[in-house]
Chains A and B, each alone.
Chain A
Amino acid sequence: MRDEETGSYWQQVTGAAIAGPCKGEQLTLVPQDELSFGLWKKEQPNGTVLAPLPRYTAKYEKATWESEVAKLPTVIHGTKGTLADRETIFGVVSNGAAQAYPMSKLTAQSPVLLDVLGDRPIMLVLGPDGKSVRVFSRQIAGREPEFYGHSVANTSDSWTLVDDTTLSGWNFDGCAVSGEMKGQCLTRIDALKDYWFDWQHYHPHSGIYRH
């Protein structure tokens, strides 16, 4: 990206200025989510959506763009014998340790995948839509509970998360909605949905979750 005010060049993935008068500066990452529209709309009924620009509407990506892009060759490659270059992963950095969690592992362990990364207990949660993913620290109120999915019928969500120490119920926002912990929220951890080759390029020492 280039900014018009100084003409500096900024790297998209990291937000760092790599050339020009701002070189060395760093943009602050604003917390963000990659969610399905349906899920976002339910969580944020008053939210607003970027309006399509009529001039360009015909050029927007098709609904099948993901499988189309998956076929494109890559110009750099992940280490041989690891994952396929275009395998979709969720990249997480915790206390300096980077790890890639393949989407396939998340769907296999749906809705929750527990791990310890950089000595911090974390969990990745697959949303009720089966597509959206959020990452949380499992440290709460001096405890480090384990969570598991509990299917619930007759509600708009297909599951609720339950922690093994207080048996409180938690939602996809990481907040307790029932039980002793009700009203408390877990700390979010940033995650980047990415292709493996790209994630490994920026995090050459990244591990891969294989359980």
Chain B
Amino acid sequence: MSIPAAPRSIRRSHKIVPVLCLFLASLATLALAAYPIYVIRPFREQTPAALERALWVLMHNKPLLLMLASLITVLALLLWRHAGWVARSLLVPAMGITILAAVSSWINPYEKMFHPVGAPNFLASNLTTIDANDMVIAVTLGGESRAYPIREMGYHHIVNDRLHGLPIVVTY
């Protein structure tokens, strides 16, 4: 007497539900990583409320994503053994997506676009080739004066400096 094939296929189709859930969960982790990057993208108006939410997520999503990515990966590996090819073709991207989300949360692409000057060097004014008509940001403290040319500042945007003992940040 042969055992009907049904139980096996039923078992398979039951397995597809947790796999599908896992896949959707991986998409949710991607959304969690992408949300702040989407909101603060340049050349777009950011309302104060949306910006506040996005920065909150940006500052808090790393440990959560690390935990979720580990959990999803472990569950995916546990399900792998009894999964059919359809399920496996969902488990692979689920793991890939969630690991990508966790890793990308440590990288802020907009910060990569900027190159702040952390340890600035300075030249005597007669040693520069700056045009007399070029504009500079000038800061004078206690008789010491510094000029930060706008054409340099327009690229670096941020210079961390110290003038007359006072730590200052110059920004444009």
**Contact between A1 and B158 (Cβ–Cβ < 8 Å)?**
yes
B contacts with A, residue count (CB < 8 A): 50
Q: Decide yes or no whether B13 CB sits under 8 A from chain A.
A: no
A34-B136, A37-B131, A50-B146 as given contacts; A12 in contact with B171, CB under 8 Å:
yes
The segment from B48-56, B81-89, B90-98 that touches chain A is: B48-56
**Contact between B155 and A30 (Cβ–Cβ < 8 Å)?**
no
The segment from B4-12, B23-31, B66-74, B122-130 that touches chain A is: B122-130
A49-B122, A50-B117, A75-B44 as given contacts; A131 in contact with B55, CB under 8 Å:
no
A contacts with B, residue count (CB < 8 A): 43
Task: Tell me the smallest distance from the CB of A25 to a CB of chain B, in Å.
Answer: 13
Most buried by A among B117, B138, B152: B138
**Contact between A18 and B51 (Cβ–Cβ < 8 Å)?**
yes
**Contact between B125 and A129 (Cβ–Cβ < 8 Å)?**
no
Interface string of A49-66 (1 = CB under 8 A from B): 111110010011111010
Q: In B111-152, which residues have CB < 8 Å from any A CB?
A: 111, 115, 117, 120-125, 128, 130-141, 144-152
**Contact between A65 and B148 (Cβ–Cβ < 8 Å)?**
no
Task: Tell me the smallest distance from the CB of B59 to a CB of chain A, in Å.
Answer: 6
Chain A contacts for B171, CB-based, 8 A: 1, 12
**Contact between B135 and A37 (Cβ–Cβ < 8 Å)?**
yes
**Contact between A35 and B135 (Cβ–Cβ < 8 Å)?**
yes
Chain A contact residues: helix, strand, loop or mixed = loop
Chain A contacts for B43, CB-based, 8 A: 75
Complex: A62 Cα to B125 Cα, angstroms: 20
Complex: A75 Cα to B130 Cα, angstroms: 32
The closest CB in chain B to the CB of A35 belongs to: B138
**Contact between A46 and B132 (Cβ–Cβ < 8 Å)?**
no
Chain B contacts for A67, CB-based, 8 A: none
Chain B contacts for A38, CB-based, 8 A: 132-133
Chain A contacts for B44, CB-based, 8 A: 75
Task: Tell me the smallest distance from the CB of A146 to a CB of chain B, in Å.
Answer: 28
**Contact between B145 and A50 (Cβ–Cβ < 8 Å)?**
no
Interface string of A6-41 (1 = CB under 8 A from B): 010100100000111000000100111111111011
**Contact between B133 and A36 (Cβ–Cβ < 8 Å)?**
yes
Q: Decide yes or no whether B1 CB sits under 8 A from chain A.
A: no
A1-B169, A19-B55 as given contacts; A51 in contact with B120, CB under 8 Å:
yes
**Contact between B145 and A46 (Cβ–Cβ < 8 Å)?**
yes
**Contact between B158 and A49 (Cβ–Cβ < 8 Å)?**
no
Additional 10 contacts, C-beta under 8 A, given A36-B133, A47-B140, A129-B133: A32-B139, A34-B138, A37-B131, A37-B149, A38-B133, A47-B125, A47-B144, A48-B125, A51-B122, A131-B133
- Measured CB to CB, the residues of A under 8 A from B are 1-2, 7, 9, 12, 18-20, 27, 30-38, 40-41, 43-53, 56, 59-63, 65, 75-76, 129, 131-132
- Measured CB to CB, the residues of B under 8 A from A are 43-45, 51-52, 55-56, 59, 111, 115, 117, 120-125, 128, 130-141, 144-156, 158-159, 166, 168-171
